[in-house]
């Protein structure tokens, strides 16, 4: 199948079976396309849709996002994960406002100067928002092209990625590029799926090298596996006499960067040492702890075993509100940017007793 036939067959399929009514397809601006593209990184469409809609309601344009408090931005991202995306989103919005007069640039080079925008995301904005020819290569497109051309190896390898970019450039048409880029993403998401691809329904089946060899499951190659390290921590729910919970802001980089979370204590402490640990670390006298069911939370590069404990503060509260610590009632805390497991702990601690893996 020639490059031209590839695009033609894909576009014919897209006209009949593609997704034409996603929220970011309406009032299609560079801002809305950009936000959707960042949200869709590592996240499925069905999950993104309600987040996108709530985000647009609160931040309808790049100016409102640039000027918003970071806690507000993170609270609207809470649950989507990979929180650096939200921080980078706001930094890029501020650059658009300050360096580009509030208008998104329409060239690959300028878009890639914005924080969090790489080659494929910039191309998606160019194609989707401006209708200009640009080749994209997100995870779905990598899978389609790796199978179609039987490109061996893991796409994270430089040599493999280079081949996939060459194929992406060759297949991208000059006309209907907006539909083509949406179509190839849709094909990867709904037909050429990671497991159980529906090859019988694929418009590219006749030219697919992996299908011809009956080796579809071999492409793309898997990432070399490494055993994830295991870490453990105490997380303490400290409640004062007014019913307020102590929250601490995480460091700006790293896991849950910039979000509000519960204070953590060294896992070397035993349960009978938590009272002393709270007094030593935070200067707070507490009652005996009530242990909540522990659970394991998996990050991209390690597993974290979290053991929560609830303690009532009995003595004088020596911890004052500042930029890094806050005493808040639960309903106030839930308005902040919280990691998903912390939000669940504050909303319904007993959830973890039945639904999460015990640590």
* Cis amide leading into 86 (omega within 30): no
Alpha-carbon torsion (25, 31, 33, 39), positive or negative: negative
Q: Which domains are present in the chain?
A: 3-218 (1.10.340.30), 230-355 (3.90.79.10)
Place of tokens 């593209």: 37
CB within 8 Å of 273: residues ≥ 6 apart = none
Burial zone of 146 (CB within 10 Å; 0-12 exposed, 13-18 middle, 19+ buried): buried
pLDDT at 111: 97
> In which residue ranges of the chain is pLDDT below 70?
1-4, 349-359
Looking from the CA of 2 toward its CB, the CA atoms found within 13 Å total 4
Please enumerate, as own/partner, the contacts of 31-34 that have beta carbons within 8 Å and a separation of 24 or more.
31/61, 31/62, 31/104, 32/56, 33/124, 33/125, 33/128, 33/129, 34/92, 34/104, 34/117, 34/121, 34/125, 34/129
CB within 8 Å of 212: residues ≥ 6 apart = none
How far apart, in whole angstroms, are the C-alpha atoms of residue 42 and residue 35? 14
Pick the closest to residue 140 from 41, 49, 50, 225 (CA basis): 41
Strand, helix or coil for residue 188: helix
pLDDT at 253: 82
pLDDT at 64: 98
Residue 223: C-alpha distances to residues 2, 13, 152, 154 (Å)? 30, 31, 12, 6
* Phi, psi (degrees; rounded to nearest 5) at 27: 50, 55
How far apart, in whole angstroms, are the C-alpha atoms of residue 125 and residue 31? 9
Q: Is 239 a catalytic residue?
A: no
Q: Which listed residue (37, 214, 239, 290) is catalytic? A: 37
pLDDT at 359: 28
């Amino acid at each position: 199948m020639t490059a031209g036939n590839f695009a033609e067959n894909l576009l014919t399929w897209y006209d009949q079976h593609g997704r034409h009514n996603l929220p970011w397809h309406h009032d299609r601006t560079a801002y809305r396309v950009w936000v959707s593209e960042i949200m869709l990184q590592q996240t499925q469409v069905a999950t993104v849709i309600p987040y996108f809609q709530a985000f647009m309601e609160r931040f309808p344009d790049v100016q409102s996002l640039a000027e918003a408090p970071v806690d507000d931005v993170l609270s609207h991202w809470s649950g989507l994960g990979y929180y650096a995306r939200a921080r980078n989103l706001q930094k890029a919005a501020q650059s658009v406002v300050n360096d580009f007069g509030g208008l998104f640039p329409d060239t690959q080079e300028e878009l890639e100067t914005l924080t969090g925008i790489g080659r494929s995301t910039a191309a998606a904005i160019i194609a989707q928002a401006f209708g200009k020819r640009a080749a994209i290569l997100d995870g779905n497109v990598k899978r389609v092209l790796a199978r179609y051309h039987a490109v061996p190896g893991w796409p994270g390898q430089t040599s493999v990625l280079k081949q996939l970019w060459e194929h992406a450039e060759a297949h991208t048409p000059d006309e209907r590029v907006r539909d083509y880029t949406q179509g190839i993403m849709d094909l990867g998401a709904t037909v050429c799926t990671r497991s159980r691809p529906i090859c019988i329904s694929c418009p590219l089946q006749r030219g697919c090298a992996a299908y011809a060899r009956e080796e579809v499951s071999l492409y793309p190659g898997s990432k070399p596996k490494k055993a994830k390290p295991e870490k453990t921590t105490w997380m303490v729910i400290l409640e004062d006499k007014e019913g307020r919970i102590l929250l601490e802001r995480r460091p700006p980089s790293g896991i849950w960067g910039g979000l509000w979370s519960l204070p953590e204590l060294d896992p070397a402490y035993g349960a009978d040492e938590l009272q002393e640990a709270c007094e030593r670390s935070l200067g707070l006298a507490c009652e005996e702890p009530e242990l909540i069911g522990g659970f394991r939370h998996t990050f991209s590069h390690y597993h974290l075993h979290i053991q929560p404990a609830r303690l009532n503060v009995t003595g004088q509260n020596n911890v004052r509100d500042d930029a890094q610590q806050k005493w808040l009632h639960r309903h106030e805390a839930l308005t902040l940017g919280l990691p998903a497991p912390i939000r669940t702990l504050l909303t319904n601690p007993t959830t973890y007793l039945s639904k999460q893996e015990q640590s």
